[in-house]
Homo-oligomer: A and B are copies of this chain.
């Protein structure tokens, strides 16, 4: 069997009109659900013709004419990140509920691709874009021909809507939980803070809370590149443990990716979470319960974040020009044995 299905060519609106013995206009009206303006018999004939020809309207032509494509795009930093994928699921559902198709653009952490995709999306005339974790400060972001909603990242005064986790609430919840559980020395481990508002907010809130408590040692470690600097990570952990010998110690990781790196480090160092040290992770990776005794996490309402980011975008696409808003959702603490 050969693979030459390209040969089959599709019926057009004219074909339908001809078969139904009418004009393209009426067919178009039928397609757009303007039934009140079509006689029953004509409607019948058109219906028939469409079925017979197996006709489906060409979206490209439609888009060209109407100036809207029913396409929206999600730009994300790293498709490997489960958080992004979960957000994407919510977004996808919202798109389908509203007749939109989602274009997924994976920056793959390559700076150059940010611009590449933005241009591409302009070329394809997408109706709107949702951006997760873009870091460029390029001027291209200033005058985009479509509305934009930002997920999980605040970007300086661009006037875009934002949806994400309520980092203050979440960090407060996590920090207080650890303190209430009797941990006396807490180290907060994060990836690069530069340009990533979310991480900064978590760090700052953590610092603030720790400072308010007497007798609690709070420390923040920022490691630029977790993949490269594994010994640095190990060193920080070791020196933290030495410095705080005798105290109940815990680690907080800023996101799921860092959690993986820290778990690996702890294994290397032969430190057992839940016994030798506490461990609490932002994000709730699927493997959190299977890693050692299980890892306590701060789960984000990712699906909801994805879904409502579409809703915000939708409002903009319909012409809402009001002030940019922020929608922040609370996180949820999932307690496992790493913080016993």
- Which residue numbers of A lie inside 8 Å of B, CB to CB? 1-6, 8-10, 56-61, 63-64, 69, 79-80, 82, 85-86, 88-89, 92, 96, 101-104, 106, 108, 113, 116, 119-120, 122-125, 143-148, 157-161, 260, 263-264, 267, 285-287, 289-292, 316-317, 319-324
Which 5 pairs across A and B sit closest by C-beta, in order of nearness? A1-B159, A287-B287, A104-B104, A4-B321, A263-B290
User: Provided the pairs A56-B123, A64-B64, A89-B106 are in contact, do residues A287 and B260 lie with their beta carbons within 8 angstroms?
Assistant: yes
Contact for A161 among B3, B4, B289, CB less than 8 A: B3
Contact A122 B56 (CB under 8 A): yes
Contact A3 B160 (CB under 8 A): yes
Chain B nearest CB from A91 CB (Å) reads 10
Stoichiometry (number of copies): 2
A287 partner residues in chain B, CB cutoff 8 A = 260, 285-287, 290-291
Chain B nearest CB from A74 CB (Å) reads 9
User: Provided the pairs A56-B119, A57-B123, A290-B291 are in contact, do residues A5 and B147 lie with their beta carbons within 8 angstroms?
Assistant: yes
Contact A260 B57 (CB under 8 A): no
Chain B nearest CB from A233 CB (Å) reads 14
A3 partner residues in chain B, CB cutoff 8 A = 147-148, 159-161, 316, 320-322, 324
User: Provided the pairs A260-B287, A287-B291, A291-B287 are in contact, do residues A145 and B5 lie with their beta carbons within 8 angstroms?
Assistant: yes
User: Provided the pairs A5-B145, A291-B290 are in contact, do residues A60 and B56 lie with their beta carbons within 8 angstroms?
Assistant: no
Q: Which of A260, A264, A286 has the most chain B CB within a 10 Å cutoff?
A: A286
Contact for A146 among B5, B89, B317, CB less than 8 A: B5
Identity of the chain B residue whose Cβ is nearest the Cβ of A121 in the assembled complex: B101
User: Provided the pairs A10-B145, A60-B124, A101-B120 are in contact, do residues A290 and B5 lie with their beta carbons within 8 angstroms?
Assistant: no
22 contacts between A and B (CB under 8 A): A1-B157, A2-B322, A3-B147, A3-B324, A4-B321, A6-B145, A8-B143, A10-B122, A57-B123, A60-B60, A60-B69, A60-B124, A79-B92, A80-B82, A80-B85, A80-B86, A88-B106, A89-B106, A92-B108, A101-B120, A104-B104, A264-B289
A317 partner residues in chain B, CB cutoff 8 A = 6
A69 partner residues in chain B, CB cutoff 8 A = 60
User: Provided the pairs A5-B144, A146-B6 are in contact, do residues A123 and B264 lie with their beta carbons within 8 angstroms?
Assistant: no
Contact B59 A123 (CB under 8 A): yes
User: Provided the pairs A3-B147, A63-B60 are in contact, do residues A290 and B267 lie with their beta carbons within 8 angstroms?
Assistant: yes
**Bound complex: CA of A1 vs CA of B143, how far in Å?**
12
Contact A124 B59 (CB under 8 A): yes
A9 partner residues in chain B, CB cutoff 8 A = 145
Chain B nearest CB from A302 CB (Å) reads 11
**Bound complex: CA of A300 vs CA of B123, how far in Å?**
36
